[in-house]
Amino acid sequence: MKNTTVLALALAMAVAGTVGGRWWEARQHPAGASTAAAPGASGPATPASGERRILYYRNPMGLPDTSATPKKDPMGMDYLPVYEGEEADRGSAGQVRISADKVQKLGVRVEAVALRPLARTVRASGRVEPDERRVYTVTAKFEGYVERLHVNATGQPVGRGQPLFEVYSPELVSAQREYAIAVQGMRSLATAGSDAAAGMKQLAESSLARLRNWDLPPDQVEALARTGEVRRTVTFRSPVGGIVTEKKAVQGMRFSAGEMLYQVTDLGAVWVIADVFEQDIAAMRPGARAAVRINAYPERTFPGTVTYVYPTLKAETRTVPVRIELANPGQLLKPAMFAQVELPAGDPRPVLTVPDSAVIDSGTRTVVLVQLGEGRFEPREVKLGARSAAYVQVLEGLREGEQAVVAANFLIDAESNLKAAVHSLGGHAGHGVPALGAASASAPAAGHKGQGSVDGIDAKAGTVSLKHGPIASLKWPAMTMEFRVANESLLRGLRPGIQVDFEFVERQQGEWVITSITHR
């Protein structure tokens, strides 16, 4: 009996100790704060000592959907964990903070907003044309026949005064005889009465004027007056040194007064007519220097001068002709050759500028990221003006000396979900935007890499559809999806079916942007 009582007492004390221990543990560790989740328990698991704590799970495609427990999306992709320390770290409204290690990892570079002359070069295609002021037509002012040709081929070079052809004209022969008779009569009446001499002199002068008006050569007129000998033919000479660019005269043909027989062009200087696009025409100024390159002479540059901007626009090409005059030593430049022209443009006075790479253009607004301090950035909506090859004029939104982000601005955009900060410019910042780092929590950096083939291209929308393989950094399976491109130049050379390697970031929720793409 005594032993039974002792055994019962021991059992009672053991039960009391167990219950008391559990009550004390419950006091020390309230519900939900246990160091290990029970099997089947819901909610993020609390990690062991030294491990990062999972805050929640985010949609793998960047949609505004989070979960307290692991799950899959309708495509079978696992939701991605977001760890403690990766939540938003924002300063004042409209600012973005990124940790120093991520700034270094992203390769952020800044450049000062500064006053610079916004010089640029306008490139245009053109064609070589003869100088219209150096084109001469050879014609006769009387009717006649081509008696003999001295130059009988188009393209033949001729010198100034060189004989081209000889003509016979009954009308011209008659005028010569009339002048010879008048001169002879004037000499015979030199001692006669003044009225007769005056009348004969007037007749001689009238005949001489007609011969001169018909462009009879002066030496032939002088010989006619001296000897009284009438020549049957008249020789026509080249009025200028150049090239015979057109020849209609044929030996023995009859011609009418005013009919063109030869065309001679001086190619010692030529024009280049460049077709400048409508948006660049305001920068064209007469007197500006131009550089002309010809495919036939790739090693040479021909200097020229802008002399005229035509007042008409070609509706088919939306271009305005611009005339450039240049010397043509050795006649290397041939009419109808194609030319590539470089024309200086832009205001030589310094204006406020930022590098072109600093500008993020969403299509509805234009933003530049300004570095305020170590790891602190502020998006500024800006108004832009003229552009050069590397810089763009800032009319509103920035001040001289501020530091603009010129490299990795798209990656900062993806890393910090810049959309929330940009929206704060309009007074509604950050509502419904995931925390900082949620866009790339599973990746060691903000960018992701993939391989695939081009399925389709929409150049107008700036998108490309890729049939890609699995993306390990995001735990995506193979699929076909549409990406935006960070710059339209990335679309150049792409066509459906080609194999590519590409890198991309999440610029904002669900918007995946390709930053690099190369052919394989």
Phi, psi angle pair for 400, to nearest 5°? -60, 135
Do residues 144 and 254 lie in contact, with contact meaning Cβ atoms separated by under 8 Å?
Answer: yes
Phi, psi angle pair for 89, to nearest 5°? -130, 85
d(CA 9, CA 369): 77
d(CA 290, CA 315): 25
First to last CA, the chain: 92
d(CA 119, CA 348): 6
Q: Residue 322: CB partners within 8 Å, gap ≥ 6?
A: 124, 273, 274, 275, 276, 281, 284, 306, 308, 309, 310, 343
> Which string of DSSP letters, residue by residue, matches 473-490?
TTTBPSEEEEEEESSGGG
Would you say the pTM of this structure is higher than 0.85?
A: no
Tokens of 450: 């993939």
Tens-level pLDDT at each residue, the chain (520 residues): 444 443 343 434 443 444 344 434 444 444 333 333 333 344 555 555 557 788 788 776 656 567 888 988 776 778 878 776 554 444 454 577 777 777 777 778 889 999 988 878 899 999 999 999 999 999 999 999 999 999 999 999 999 999 999 999 998 888 888 888 888 887 777 666 677 777 778 888 888 888 888 888 888 888 887 877 888 888 999 999 999 999 999 999 999 999 999 999 999 999 999 999 998 888 888 999 999 999 999 999 999 999 999 999 999 999 999 999 999 988 999 999 999 999 988 777 889 999 988 898 877 788 898 988 877 888 888 999 888 778 899 999 999 999 999 887 666 665 554 445 444 444 433 333 333 333 333 333 357 899 999 999 988 888 999 999 999 888 888 889 999 888 787 888 888 999 999 988 887 777 888 888 988 7
